[in-house]
Amino acid sequence: MSDTSKRASQGGAGVPALGATSSVMLPLSFILVGLVAFLTGIGWLLLQPSLLATYHYNQTIIAVTHLFVLGWICSVIMGAMYQLVPVALETSLYSLRLARWHLILHVIGFSGMVWMFQEWNLKQVGHFGSVLAVGVGLFVYNLARTLWRVPRWTLPATAITTVLAWLSFTVVVGLTVAAGKCTYDATPTATWTGGLLAGLRTATGLVSRFDPVSAMHAHAHLGGIGCFTVLIVGVSYKLVPMFTLSEVQSLKRAGFSVLLLNFGLAGAFATILLRSPWKFFFALMLLAALVLYGVEMRAILRARKRRTLDWGLRYFLTAIALLGPTGLMAAVLSWPDLPLTEWTGQLETAYAFTALLGVVTFAIMGMLYKIIPFLVWYRRYSKQIGRTQVPSLSQLYSARLQSVGYWCFLAGLILVSLGIIAGHASCIRLGCIGMAISATTLVCNVGLMLSHFLRPTVPERVVPRLTVSASI
């Protein structure tokens, strides 16, 4: 009998393989786009640190913010969600084809938006933003159909659903704000374009009722909290227990944290937009959500069976810890009738910077050290496992580079944040150097991981063979 006549059968509870859910190259493409945007953004700040030393309502800082938010954060998060959502929720991605179209529209959309923000051509921002919005529409539809297939509804599934809703709302509000800053001279006609023109004029009328800075801040909070914070909180209830061999300790506490985050955001959006003193109340509600989240994370970590925390997890847990100072800054800034002085203006910038480049970026970098090794390993070694020696995920990259990157980024973040508050450009530049070194270590490690596609390696340490007496 030849080897080919051998049979394999499987049974028990099943989880679909990645090959059935998504392409390895799709999330990797999103992630690589994100890394290019990240390096570009850090380089931009390194060359122009004075951008952060002055008030943030100007075209260049809005351009660089959208480069970080859409180019870096959204690219990586969306790519990761195409891979993680089906895996974490034990289902399969609805359409890989739609996801590929999304990638193209996303890259065109955000690149054009950043360029046109820099030129301060808001009509073109709206056009490129519309391209981006079509891509987001495909993303939301694709993941909504994916969530529809989920066999067991869980807390992460609820959190992801709300993230998709907030993402859609963020894009609509962003486009409305951009449309509201444009003028429309043509006469509306009874055509499709005429209807669009009438809609844009309505948007202009609507947005003109609000203070432009408040509208921008409300839009930013929708994205920052609704898309990023809710996602970090929601998925960490799945990922942190999985990587530390632990369990959620109180489902009720975890559920309340997600619920409060969503209610708090809804209130915060409205009160920021209307410049209402009630925004302090909703800031406290959001802080309460984060405190609940922190308590639950602490309980999960205390109950963990795997005592050693790898660097990927340390990055992620640092992100969670940074929610503390970020939340405190939010509480101060939401204080009723806080005067807008030079200092509070800089504190607003420091708050946004710590949130996006501290909390979200640390979380992303940590998860990249889980996602990329998994994708590379899955593509390169999953067929070899059991046939030959294969490396573990942590053997695909350098832990030393990872730790250097961690400390450089943390030091850089602290220096830049202090430099922003003090309005000190040299301090900001020094911090950006630390961040640039960190970004370089990340890119080097990504290069090491991707090199396995070209040069697969066999681990030096041989997995010990067991003696039968010791194993049973």
Partner 1 sequence: MRSSTVTEAAVWTALGEVIDPELGCNIVDLGLVYSVNVDGGKVSIVMTLTTFGCPMHESIRWGVQNALLALDGVMEADVQVVWDPPWHPSMMTDRGRASVGISVPPQP
Report the residue number, 41 or 373, with the smaller CB distance to partner 1. 373
Report the residue number, 23 or 168, with the smaller CB distance to partner 1. 23
d(CA 57, CA 71): 20
Question: What is the CA 338 to chain-centroid distance, rounded?
Answer: 30
Please give the helix or strand (H or E) that residue 104 lies within, else none.
helix 96-119
Report the residue number, 3 or 337, with the smaller CB distance to partner 1. 3
d(CA 421, CA 408): 20
The residues of the shown chain that bind partner 1, judged by CB under 8 A, are 1, 3, 5-19, 87-90, 238, 241-243, 245, 305-308, 374, 377-378, 381-383, 385-387, 389-395, 463-466, 468, 470-472
Least distance (Å) between residue 16 CB and partner 1: 7
Cβ atoms of residues 378 and 390 within 8 Å:
no
Report the residue number, 387 or 455, with the smaller CB distance to partner 1. 387
Report the residue number, 90 or 276, with the smaller CB distance to partner 1. 90
Least distance (Å) between residue 283 CB and partner 1: 35
Least distance (Å) between residue 354 CB and partner 1: 31
Angle, to 10 degrees, between the axis of helix 311-333 and the axis of helix 230-244?
Answer: 150
Least distance (Å) between residue 363 CB and partner 1: 18
To 5 degrees, how large is the angle CA 338–CA 343–CA 348? 70
Q: Which of 394, 236, 371 is nearest to 317 (CA)?
A: 236
Report the residue number, 19 or 277, with the smaller CB distance to partner 1. 19
Least distance (Å) between residue 49 CB and partner 1: 40
d(CA 352, CA 358): 9
Burial 264-287 (b: 16+ CB within 10 A, else e): bbbbbbebbbeeeeebbebbebbb
Please give the helix or strand (H or E) that residue 285 lies within, else none.
helix 279-302
Q: Whole-angstrom distance between the N-terminal and C-terminal Cα of the chain? A: 32
Report the residue number, 13 or 190, with the smaller CB distance to partner 1. 13
Least distance (Å) between residue 383 CB and partner 1: 7
Least distance (Å) between residue 382 CB and partner 1: 4
d(CA 403, CA 339): 41
